[in-house]
Chains A and B, each alone.
Chain A
Amino acid sequence: MSLLFVEDDGDDVELALLGFRLQKFEIPVVVAKDGKDALDLLIADCEAARLLPRAILTDIKMPRMDGLELLRRIKSDPRLKEIPVAIFTSSDHEADRNEAMSLGAACYLMKPSDLDDYAGIVKSLRELMEPGASASA
């Protein structure tokens, strides 16, 4: 079981991993540096019949392919569409949020400036990956 984290900003990758560790989120995280990279990985997994990530956490603004385009591709691919996708962004732009939700994003998470706020992020990810787990925990 793994989480695919799509993020072009190295600092944000580092902060997120730090936040996950502080929140005792022990699930393996695979990092893709943009949407294109992420889609290539997913398709390669499908073709090699490897286990797909349990959830995807993606930034929006990225080079080559942004998070919303990635989301659209995933939702239009029958092999991938069941994977829950969480948006992880610093944009609280209403239009981005609406588009993401209408494309089938599972949730819309804001990048925190306080490491303690990773508690909420981690809780949401756990719910996506193990539905009902946090409720019983």
Chain B
Amino acid sequence: MMETPAKQSRARRLRVWFSSRFSGRPEEQSASRQARGWFTSRLSDRSKGGRHRTFRGVPDFFRLAVESLNEYALITMDKDRVISSWSGPAAAMFGYTEGEIIGQSVTLLFTPEDIEKGIDKQEFATALEKGRQDDERWHVCKDGRRLWCYGLSFPLKDENDEVRGFVKLIRDDTSRKKKDELLRDSEERLRLAGDSTGLGTWDYDVAKKTMTVSKRAAELFELGDDPESVSFEQFLRGIHPEERQTVAAMFERALLPDAVDGDMQFRIPIRGGGERWVLAKARAFVDDARRRHGGADRLIGTVVDVTERRRKRIEAQDVKHELETKVKDRTSRLTEVNKELETFAYSASHDLRAPLRKIAAFSDAVIKSAEGKLNPEEQRYLDTIRAAAAKMQGLIDDQLKLARVTRKPLAEVDCDLSEIARAALDELRKSEPERKVEVVIAGGMRARGDRELLAIALRNLFANAWKFTSKHAAARIEFGVTTIGEAPAYFVRDDGAGFDMQFAHKLFGTFQRLHPEEDFPGTGVGLGLVERIIHRHHGRVWAEGGIEKGATFFFTLNTEI
């Protein structure tokens, strides 16, 4: 108990028993939210000096206690509800300074709607009658803003139990109200979303072993007509016996510390026959106190009917399986047909050789036996027959080479590509020793493959580079390896005639040519051979280049790109 300084002797003293518990959110309940005790105060005295005097007598301890609660505005009024004191938080909350508000009616803080209903008066009448009055309502600030406030009013009485005025404590709950509204909105939205998508929600309380379920969840779990809460046992009983234990185990697991959000699919026998597949998703919630003991105290989740989805998936799997079988059958048939075709091409090519050889040889015989007797035109005809036969012979030989490359069984060994390359380039050098070609071959390039076929591929790539650099006085051919993705990609690079990239796709076509035969002779089978060999090694081959900018041929082996 404290006495106010005695020097304000003219003031009338007021001693008040103050005891109140501020009702608020439960989590905010604490000793500091309670005010209790006697305080003695000087009340405003309207009779003296004609001025409203402030209710300054609130003792320091109380003022300090109240003002330390920044959230609470403290207003005192006289019996006519004329404001006599105005705390700092009140000024901050409503925008009026002490000077502006003291002497004004508290009605100033009420909304016109409430004033119309007489609530501004009613509130204090109730406080008077019941000793206290708490409520939640809108109040109006100086600038017209409205605040949603929790308020507590009680009467101030003097020693003779005579009412001298009122105290009103106000807390601004506007932001909480907004949050609550948002939460309600989102809950409503979730419910609407759930209703429209068939999504049910549930909440498992570990301690109570109860499941709180939404209407939709109750339907899906077959828990009867809209029960809000069921025991966990009851929930489990609704699950298909074959999955019941698994689901119980999954719930247990989901509650363990470090558990992650989980999915479970299980069946619910439908009352009246049949069964429903549901997909339940769960998330564990843990409070800090419980975390220390390990495990969650709450699982919340959703549930959705996946019966149709599963049926469609199974159907899709059946269709996929059927398609796969069909593809397999067709592929095997295609392989067979391809083999037949290859055999046909092989034997046809082979059989064509004999008559061709005869055309060439008998033309030669004519030339030889008629030596000197043929006129130049006759001689030219025979030469043309022989040239055409020779050309056809070349094509057939190439076709046979292609067929052989495809038919030959792969004999995979560890191959020294650098060594194979050196041998191939030596052959080319011997064929045209006068040419100036700088050859760069990276050492130690090894790969697994059929040595004979890889040698054919490299010979053809080098022959290609050799040929297309032939118009240059000096040339450079390089064989090396780089990395593309994670796989080694070998390359043969030259600085020769190159090619137009827009025709790159034609490079590997059998008997396709990008340059006139007069410039660069050949049948156009070399790169086709390379491609077949690389494909047989589960690799990929491609080229980059530009006209007169050289060409680079890349290939990978055993990568299945």
Contact A15 B361 (CB under 8 A): yes
Instruction: Give the residue name and chain of the A residue nearest to B367 (CB).
Output: A115
In the bound complex, CA of A77 to CA of B357 (Å): 34
If over half of B's interface residues share one DSSP class (helix, strand or loop), that class is named, otherwise mixed; here it is helix
Task: Return the chain A residue nearest B397 by Cβ.
Answer: A92
Known: A113-B389, A113-B393. A18 touches B357 (CB 8 A): no
A5 to B364, CA, bound (A): 22
- CB-CB under 8 A from A9, the residues of chain B are 354
- The one of B350, B362, B389, B390 that contacts A15, using a Cβ cutoff of 8 Å: B362
Report if A114 contacts B (CB, 8 A). Answer: yes
State A15–B361 Cα separation when bound (angstroms): 7
Contact B358 A11, beta carbon cutoff 8 Å: yes
A16 smallest CB distance to B (angstroms): 10
Q: Is there an interface contact between B353 and A15, defined as CB atoms closer than 8 Å? A: no
Inter-chain contact B365/A111, CB cutoff 8 Å: no
A32 → chain B, closest Cβ, in Å?
19
Contact yes or no, B365 A115, CB < 8 A: yes
Which residues of A lie under 8 Å from residue B353 when comparing CB positions? 90
Q: How far is the CA of A111 from the CA of B364 in the complex (A)?
A: 14
Does A46 reach chain B (CB closer than 8 Å)? no
Taking CB atoms and an 8 Å cut-off, the chain A residues in 114-132 that contact chain B are 114-116
Chain B residue nearest to A114 (CB atoms) is: B364
Judged by a CB distance under 8 angstroms, whether B292 is at the interface is: no
- Any B CB within 8 A of the CB of A104: no
For B356-386 the 0/1 string (1 means CB < 8 A from A) is 1110111011001000000000000000000
Q: How far is the CA of A22 from the CA of B371 in the complex (A)?
A: 13
Q: Cβ of B361: which chain A residues have Cβ within 8 Å of it?
A: 15, 112-115
User: A135 → chain B, closest Cβ, in Å?
Assistant: 26
Cα–Cα distance between A124 and B362 once the two chains are bound (Å): 23
Whether B356 contacts A113 by the Cβ 8 Å rule is: yes
- Which residues does chain A contribute within 8 Å of B362, judged by CB atoms? 11, 15
- Name which residue of chain B comes closest to A18, CB basis: B365
**Interface size range of chain A in the complex:** 10 to 19
> In the complex, are the beta carbons of A115 and B364 less than 8 A apart?
yes
Q: Does B354 contact A113, Cβ atoms closer than 8 Å?
A: no
CA distance A90 to B368 in the complex (A): 22
Given contacts A113-B389, A113-B390, A113-B393, contact A90 B357 (CB under 8 A): yes
Is A91 on the interface with B (CB-CB < 8 A)? yes
CA distance A11 to B358 in the complex (A): 7
Cβ of B452 to closest chain A Cβ, rounded Å: 10
Tell whether, in the assembled complex, residue A113 and residue B365 are in contact, meaning their CB atoms are under 8 Å apart: no
Please give, as numbers and ranges, the residues of chain A lying within 8 Å of B358 by CB-CB distance: 11-12, 15
In the complex, residue of chain A having the shortest beta-carbon distance to the beta carbon of B363: A113
Set of chain A residues within 8 Å of B360, measured between Cβ atoms: 113-114
CA distance A114 to B364 in the complex (A): 6
The proximity string for A residues 1-19 relative to B, scoring 1 for CB distances below 8 Å and 0 otherwise, is 0000000010110010010
Contacts of B356 in A (CB 8 A): 113
A15 CA / B363 CA spacing, docked (Å) = 11
Q: Is the CB of A111 within 8 A of B368?
A: no
Q: How far is the CB of B374 from chain A (nearest CB, A)?
A: 16
Contacting residues of chain B (337-356) with chain A, CB-CB under 8 angstroms: 350, 353-354, 356
In angstroms, Cα B365 to Cα A113, docked, is 10
C-alpha spacing A9/B358, complex, angstroms: 11
User: Do B368 and A22 touch (CB < 8 A)?
Assistant: yes
Distance in angstroms from A38 CB to nearest chain B CB is 20
User: Which residues of B lie under 8 Å from residue A112 when comparing CB positions?
Assistant: 357, 361
Residues of B within 8 A of A115 (CB): 361, 364-365, 368
**A residues near B350, Cβ cutoff 8 Å:** 91
A114 to chain B, nearest CB (A): 6
Residues in B whose Cβ lies below 8 Å from that of A116: 364
Rounded to whole Å, the gap between the CB of B189 and the closest CB of chain A is: 78
CB distance from A19 to the nearest CB of B (A): 8
- C-alpha spacing A43/B354, complex, angstroms: 31
Residue in A closest to B360 when the chains form the complex, CB atoms: A113
Cα(A113)–Cα(B358), bound, Å: 7
Query: What is the distance, in angstroms, from B554's C-beta to the closest C-beta of chain A?
Result: 30
| CB of A86 to closest CB in B, whole Å | 18
Give, as a whole number of angstroms, the nearest-CB distance from B474 to chain A.
Answer: 36
Q: B residues within 8 A CB of A113?
A: 356-357, 360-361, 364, 389-390, 393
Q: How far is the CB of A51 from chain B (nearest CB, A)?
A: 32
**Cα–Cα, bound, A116→B360 (Å):** 12
Q: Which residues of the partner chain B approach A11 to less than 8 Å between Cβ atoms?
A: 358, 362
Q: How far is the CA of A115 from the CA of B371 in the complex (A)?
A: 14
From residue 81 to 123 of chain B, which have CB atoms closer than 8 A to chain A?
none
Give the docked Cα–Cα distance between A82 and B158 (Å): 150
Residues of B within 8 A of A90 (CB): 353-354, 357
Residue of A nearest to B408 (CB): A94
Nearest CB on A from B396, distance (A): 11
Instruction: Give the chain B neighbours of A12 by CB distance below 8 A.
Output: 354, 358
Residue of A nearest to B354 (CB): A90
Bound-state CA distance A12–B358 (Å) is 8
Q: Which of B350, B358, B360: most chain A CB closer than 10 A?
A: B358
User: In the complex, how many angstroms separate the beta carbon of A34 from the nearest chain B beta carbon?
Assistant: 16
Contact with B along A36-61 (1 / 0, CB 8 A): 00000000000000000000000000
Within the complex, what minimum Cβ distance (angstroms) separates B145 from chain A? Answer: 99
A residues within 8 A CB of B357? Answer: 90, 111-113
Residue of A nearest to B364 (CB): A115
A103 CA / B234 CA spacing, docked (Å): 88
Lowest 8 CB-CB distances: which A-B pairs, in order?
Answer: A113-B360, A113-B357, A115-B364, A15-B361, A90-B353, A113-B361, A11-B358, A90-B354
25 CB < 8 A contacts A-B: A9-B354, A12-B354, A15-B358, A15-B361, A15-B362, A15-B365, A18-B365, A22-B368, A90-B353, A90-B357, A111-B357, A112-B357, A113-B356, A113-B360, A113-B361, A113-B364, A113-B389, A113-B390, A113-B393, A114-B361, A114-B364, A115-B364, A115-B365, A115-B368, A116-B364
A90-B357, A113-B356 given. 5 additional CB < 8 A pairs?
Answer: A9-B354, A11-B358, A15-B358, A18-B365, A116-B364
